[in-house]
Chains A and B, each alone.
Chain A
Amino acid sequence: MRAKTLIFQSGTVFDPVTGCEGSTRDIAVCGDRIVALEHVSDVDEIVDASGMLVTAAAVDCAAHVAFPGVWALRAAGLFPDGEVLVRRYAERGFGHVHESWATLFDCGTVQAEWARMPGPDISVGLGLPLYDLTTWMEAQDAATAHTALEHLWATLGTHGCYLPEPRLRFRDDVYKHREKSAQELVPFFLEACRGVPGPIVLPARSLLREDLEVLAPGIHVQRAALLTEQGAACPFSVLADAIGFGMSADLGLAWPEKAVELTWVPPDDVSGGRLWDVGSFLLLKASPVPEKDFRDEEEAARFLAKGLPEGWAFSCRQANLALVQDWEGLIRAVLEVWGVREWFLATRAQAARALGFSDRGHLAPGARANVALYREPEEDTAAGWAKALSRCERLYVGGREIFDGRRGLLVPPSPRDRCVGTAPEGFRAELFAPFLDGMSLRPETLRRLAPRAGEP
């Protein structure tokens, strides 16, 4: 079957990557890709985009919306249900969401949760406490660790990884002799991760000042997305000094509505909030945050604006962008400090780059056809732009329309094609044994965590 072709006609294109910042142009799509206009002969559909901003769909480079145990928050009425989350992403023009972490045994849970939220493209980072690599680390066998990691990511269909901490720490004194610092671990880890796709993400809260000496150069090379969090052991300024470019940063903005923030806490700081043990030596804590105005965060926005030329990307505080209800207010607060161009860079091109996707966040030929259409702003002010950008009129993901401002979500009925692990040929269960040292699962089971991948 011939792939469907589609042209967005006469729209005002805003795409800093291809140098379009407001010129009227047509954008052509063939199948799930953007194509050069001159390569299109038969056109199946013409979308009249006059009076519209045509942009690449936005990328949320660090979401936590399908993490394990989210149902407990939902039972308590602290977290919106799946449909609300997906609708919010669509209304805001997000075509790709990166769920930052799912631990090995939560991969199936997180992916199943996302499978029930059809809409944007998704990728999931593998939460990897470093003690899962102990066997190889002790043998200093980075080559085998590398093979195993490659195999693991392919099997589970995950993208990049999330280290709760770049260290090994233990609760009990008997294990103290096994503790290791970032200095000892990170070189081994980077060697093991050589060439694997996707970002390595670390929550800034878990970083120590001395970690940065070894992390900065390594992470830069790995296109890491380092998400700064307020209250980190390591303040913004230290991070900014220590780290070069090629990273994304959490904007550190709180939403003004009552909601929850997610943080990692050490096991000895376990009072308050709702807690999960997800299998690292940190516990995940969700606590309600008081109402707050975005404008109170101007300083954070100003600080992060400095990182924009360095390639920083935008995500929200504690990476729960979909929880922000007053999206317009947030964009406005940011635009008052940044410019429109920076907003597009930070939510699209740079966010995609932080995740290691070269085919997203822009409209150059060859890119995945994730396209968002907004109304043109009525006035060229922060308020005017915020109003326009806060509500997407039409959203296309992979060339298919998934949202229409008047008709709502038009999501495909079966989202199954989205989260399947690739189940590499010659599945080598034995490689996974060290990962499963501390688990009751058999290595063969990892193949079953990615939905459908193992069905005979």
Chain B
Amino acid sequence: MIQKILEQLPGTDCQMCGMSCADFAAFLLSGDLSPQECPVLQEDAYADRREALAALLESLKARAKSGHLIDPDKCNGCGICLIVCEYNVANDPESRRGKGPSKDAKVVLRIVNGRVVLADETLCTRLLQAADKCSKCQDHCPTQAIVLI
């Protein structure tokens, strides 16, 4: 995703924002900086990129802190993510065995109304440890409804 954002930046590494384009892209993704803070991008020549970047960042708004971006239209509720989720497997014996977690179980993901939802993103290994530690739900999702960013 950083790569996609980077493609929309001027790519001059002019440091006018105080850093390289790549670092700036990372801050855009984390939401700590906004596109307005890149002076070069505000030039007319970059109007198209500005719009594309705004659209891209808009689409990322639904992204959770843990990085999950879930497309409910793609999800068919098969529940594979619940059973491969590292936290669920380690902490919820029901999920481990392929049964749906009970209503007060502490789990990261749940299937509600036939679609996967983040029940508690703070339990996700990506937040507890590091973002690159786990991507199982994304890797095993057959319909690519879960994307980790």
Judged by CB atoms under 8 Å, the answer to whether A and B touch is yes
Residues of B with C-beta under 8 A to A441: 99
Output the nearest chain B residue to A439 by Cβ-Cβ distance: B97
0/1 string, A357-385, CB within 8 A of B gives 1: 00000000000000000000000000000
Residues of B with C-beta under 8 A to A437: 97
Residues of B with C-beta under 8 A to A440: 97-99
Interface residues of B in 95-138 (CB under 8 A from A): 97-99
Instruction: Tally inter-chain residue pairs, CB-CB below 8 A.
Output: 6
Interface size on A, residues (CB 8 A): 4
B95 to chain A, nearest CB (A): 12
Output the nearest chain A residue to B94 by Cβ-Cβ distance: A442
Residues of A with C-beta under 8 A to B98: 440
Main secondary structure of the interface of A (DSSP, over half): loop
Output the nearest chain B residue to A437 by Cβ-Cβ distance: B97
Output the nearest chain B residue to A440 by Cβ-Cβ distance: B98
0/1 string, A429-446, CB within 8 A of B gives 1: 000000001001110000
B133 to chain A, nearest CB (A): 28
Residues of A with C-beta under 8 A to B99: 440-442
Give A441 to B98 CA distance when docked, in angstroms.
Answer: 9
Residues of B with C-beta under 8 A to A442: 99
Residues of A with C-beta under 8 A to B97: 437, 440
B101 to chain A, nearest CB (A): 11
A197 to chain B, nearest CB (A): 32
A35 to chain B, nearest CB (A): 51
Give A12 to B53 CA distance when docked, in angstroms.
Answer: 100
Interface residues of B in 55-109 (CB under 8 A from A): 97-99
Output the nearest chain A residue to B97 by Cβ-Cβ distance: A440
Give A440 to B100 CA distance when docked, in angstroms.
Answer: 9
Give A440 to B94 CA distance when docked, in angstroms.
Answer: 9
B69 to chain A, nearest CB (A): 30
B92 to chain A, nearest CB (A): 13
Give A442 to B98 CA distance when docked, in angstroms.
Answer: 11
Interface residues of A in 398-456 (CB under 8 A from B): 437, 440-442
Output the nearest chain A residue to B98 by Cβ-Cβ distance: A440
Give A440 to B98 CA distance when docked, in angstroms.
Answer: 6
Interface residues of A in 175-197 (CB under 8 A from B): none
B94 to chain A, nearest CB (A): 8
Give A442 to B97 CA distance when docked, in angstroms.
Answer: 10
A310 to chain B, nearest CB (A): 46
Give A440 to B83 CA distance when docked, in angstroms.
Answer: 13
A104 to chain B, nearest CB (A): 15
B74 to chain A, nearest CB (A): 25
A22 to chain B, nearest CB (A): 61
Give A440 to B99 CA distance when docked, in angstroms.
Answer: 6
Give A442 to B94 CA distance when docked, in angstroms.
Answer: 9
B45 to chain A, nearest CB (A): 60
B59 to chain A, nearest CB (A): 37
A429 to chain B, nearest CB (A): 11
0/1 string, A187-215, CB within 8 A of B gives 1: 00000000000000000000000000000
Output the nearest chain B residue to A442 by Cβ-Cβ distance: B99
Give A441 to B97 CA distance when docked, in angstroms.
Answer: 10
Give A170 to B99 CA distance when docked, in angstroms.
Answer: 25
Give A297 to B97 CA distance when docked, in angstroms.
Answer: 50
B142 to chain A, nearest CB (A): 19
Output the nearest chain A residue to B100 by Cβ-Cβ distance: A442
Which residues of A pack against B, CB within 8 Å?
A: 437, 440-442
A-B contact pairs, 6 of them (CB 8 A): A437-B97, A440-B97, A440-B98, A440-B99, A441-B99, A442-B99
Which residues of B pack against A, CB within 8 Å?
A: 97-99
Which 5 residue pairs of A and B lie closest in terms of their CB atoms, listed nearest first?
A440-B98, A440-B99, A442-B99, A440-B97, A437-B97
